[in-house]
A and B are shown apart, each in its own frame.
Chain A
Amino acid sequence: NAGVTQTPKFQVLKTGQSMTLQCAQDMNHEYMSWYRQDPGMGLRLIHYSVGAGITDQGEVPNGYNVSRSTTEDFPLRLLSAAPSQTSVYFCASSYGYRDPRNTIYFGEGSWLTVV
Chain B
Amino acid sequence: ELKVEQNPLFLSMQEGKNYTIYCNYSTTSDRLYWYRQDPGKSLESLFVLLSNGAVKQEGRLMASLDTKARLSTLHITAAVHDLSATYFCAVDPNFGNEKLTFGTGTRLTIIP
A97: contacting residue among B33, B95, B99, CB under 8 A = B95
Q: Does B90 contact A (CB under 8 A)?
A: yes
Residues B48 and A102 in contact, CB atoms below 8 Å apart: yes
Residues A43 and B45 in contact, CB atoms below 8 Å apart: no
A35 to B102, CA, bound (A): 10
- How many residues on A have C-beta within 8 angstroms of the other chain's C-beta atoms? 25
Chain A, residues 87-108, CB within 8 Å of chain B (1/0): the string is: 0001000101100011110111
- 20 residue pairs of the A-B complex, CB under 8 angstroms, read A33-B99, A41-B104, A42-B88, A42-B102, A42-B103, A43-B43, A43-B102, A45-B101, A59-B101, A90-B42, A96-B97, A96-B98, A102-B98, A103-B45, A104-B98, A104-B100, A106-B43, A107-B42, A108-B41, A109-B42
Besides A107-B42, A108-B41, 20 other A-B contacts (C-beta < 8 A): A31-B97, A33-B99, A35-B100, A35-B102, A41-B104, A42-B4, A42-B103, A43-B102, A45-B99, A48-B99, A50-B97, A94-B98, A102-B33, A102-B98, A103-B48, A104-B33, A104-B98, A104-B100, A106-B43, A109-B42
Chain B, residues 39-71, CB within 8 Å of chain A (1/0): the string is: 001110100101000000000000000000000
Q: Nearest Cβ in chain A — how far from B51, in angstroms?
A: 11
Chain B, residues 8-45, CB within 8 Å of chain A (1/0): the string is: 00000000000000000000000101000000011101
B96: contacting residue among A33, A96, A106, CB under 8 A = A96
A40 to B88, CA, bound (A): 11
A106 to B101, CA, bound (A): 15
Residues A101 and B98 in contact, CB atoms below 8 Å apart: no
Interface size class, chain B: 20 to 34
Q: Nearest Cβ in chain B — how far from A96, in angstroms?
A: 5
Residue of B41, B42, B102, B105 with most partner-chain A CB within 10 A:
B42
A78 to B100, CA, bound (A): 22
A36 to B101, CA, bound (A): 12
A67 to B50, CA, bound (A): 30
